[in-house]
Amino acid sequence: MGAKKKPFTQLTLADLDIDPSQVGEAGARERIAAIGQAEARAAGQVIKDDGNSAQVIADFLQRHQLL
């Protein structure tokens, strides 16, 4: 890969004329206050198709007034 042979120049903030207080953590205006677990969606019922699944699904829809 040609990219590996290219010169690698490291610049400092001063080279770029950037005020250190404006970048990185010091410059960030947003803070992370907490990290927690997302509420998981509870898994429901899983059935194996025995040729009757259309009925089971339609019953489910009717039970929840979705038909």
Sequence length of the chain is 67
Ranges within 23-62 binding another protein (CB under 8 A):
29-38, 40-41, 43-49, 53-58, 60-62
Provide the sign of the torsion angle of the four alpha carbons 56, 58, 63, 64, taken in this order.
positive
> Which residue, 3 or 40, has its beta carbon nearer to another protein?
40
Q: Which residues contact 60 (CB under 8 A, 6 or more apart)?
A: 66
Name every residue whose Cβ is closer than 8 Å to that of residue 5 and which is 6 or more positions away in sequence: none
Q: Is 18 in the site for another protein (CB under 8 A)?
A: no
Which residues are at the interface with another protein (CB under 8 A)? 29-38, 40-41, 43-49, 53-58, 60-62, 64, 66-67
